Structure 1
Amino acid sequence: MVTVLDTRAERPRHPEKAKRPENEVQKKPAWIRVKAPVSKGYNETKSIVRDNNLVTVCEEAGCPNIGECWQKKHASFMVMGEICTRACAFCNVTTGRPLPLDPAEPANVAEAVAQMGLKHVVITSVDRDDLPDGGAQHIADTIAAIRLRSPETTVEVLTPDFLRKDGALETVVAAKPDVFNHNLETVPSNYLTVRPGARYFHSIRLLQRVKELDPTMFTKSGIMVGLGEERNEILQLMDDLRTADVDFITIGQYLAPTRRHHPVIRFVPPDEFKSLETTARSKGFLMVSASPLTRSSHHADEDFAKLQAARAARDAALQLA
């Protein structure tokens, strides 16, 4: 094994990684702790999800915001099953051979959206490398079912990368989601260990292609910090996203689901998130959400309204210029 060195200081490139054993679990700081989900709204949301035989990324990813979101009857649905064909080191979703697609799932998701009265819904999925289109048509069918059942509801999709799936991206964009989200997850130097089945520049190109197909569609991407990345790598990632004309970036703290997953190298304090937010806004993103508990779909409904307002303000300013 070769260690990459910073020759300017003769030290490991990620010194935190060298110091922290992989099985060591750091104690969470006060700013990352949340209350246990026990509210009436939480239980009602759970019942709707169960009654419609659905899977949520809130549960599968062990999201720390589930209590807050489900109390408000906000849930992010994960379609195409609970088994993923990828094995990312940060993710708690089961890896293996997925089951066949459930043809009733799009209608079931649409029914749950209607029962919850959602104004904005996030639809994500596992990676389905086993399918010829990566599940793109199933995602498009889910969007169409929601439009039919709840025509006033806006739809945000958080998609896989559709690596080597020609035409898949075009199928999803043609279904006209209001927001197209695809997460980079981490900086490129971490991909081999954190996201080994993906390709950083393919993901950048995917987001760029969305804008080429539909310049009016909002695009969004998110990353986790605390995986050993350096600040200059985050800034370069921001520049790459802006080159692809991405509108919205989310930045949150990585939390290891279990001891078997990639360890948390560092808990990033709130003031550093604030600094990253300020920098991202200076680079031209319409929207930035950066905090320890930020997740891709957290406050997605409120953020979509802000995103629309930010674009309107920018367009108005350009007309006056």
Structure 2
Amino acid sequence: MTALLLVHGRSQEMAAGADRSAAAVAAYVEGRKREWLGGLARGLTLAGHPPVRPEDVYYPFYGNLLADLIAAHERAGGHTPDLESAPVAVVAKKATRTRDDLVLEAAEELGFRPSRRLARTDPELVAPVVAVERARAAGAEAGWSDLLKPRIVREALQFLAEKTGTSELIIQQFLRDVAYYLEDDRMRTAVQKEVSAAVDRAVADHHHDMVVVAHSLGSVVAYDLCADFTASIRVRLLVTAGSPLGYPIVRRNLRGGTEGADDRGVPAVLDPIPGSPGRDRVWWLNAFDVLDVVALVHPLASRFSSGPQRIRDERTFNPTAPHSVSDYLSDPDVAGPIGDVLAGV
């Protein structure tokens, strides 16, 4: 049988002060899983497939863990013996730099031009900004100074909020969590341990094949999982939805490539079912809504080596919210390939 691994993203933790007894956590996680499966059931029905069997679904939950680690990290300030990786101040500085780069890359994808924005708000900064823009246009390695970058990042954040209708706070919180996952080895290892344990449970339950469906930050987690994959189970399909994997700063920090370079390939572990004659093999399906601020850098196929042959990008129009996982999975063009693999087609 084929297992279905659902890898959630950020901001899935229980509310502050909520009951965290084993029973309460289990009930909460079941509710989160039902949200995914409800959307997927609609998409599968529209694609002509039956719903998935609950016993084949694995939903590793790291929401509380990640939120607690980030909160403890930020409470700790400049130094704490509790963190076994780099000192807090070092990790925080790296995470802030990564977050700022994510903001700038997202804004540039939508046509952000710093000099134009600053002409309205800080005209005295226009000349040095134009100088950097011209140097970059000429192919030079020109970066923003410590004086200019904070102001430009603020303008880029406002620009993103205006363009996407997403609040600046939500954008900042998402990009912060992605940055911490990428830059803090302790957080990354803890999250990977939870997800890998779910794969091990699927193997123990005698599943031989697996479909991995990942949303938001979960797509980064899933890519890392696939890059390091050692389990005795075949990954027949990877599905990412609302993914930040298009951002160069994210790809530079993924597993399975040269450190500092954004050249990454389709994970070698992906082994699609050949399918019936005339049916395309799908290694990796990536779904994006053009208003989803997390997935603004799209499509993915051209950004990964062997991607044009192995990644199918699918544009969706999510009716309730651009980043909604249930909306993504309700799309029959997203759910259909999942149903094909689960049915062994």
TM range (shorter): 0.3 to 0.5
Greater fraction of residues in helix: 2
Normalising to structure 2: TM-score of the pair?
0.35
Normalising to structure 1: TM-score of the pair?
0.37
- Select the structure of larger CA radius of gyration: 2
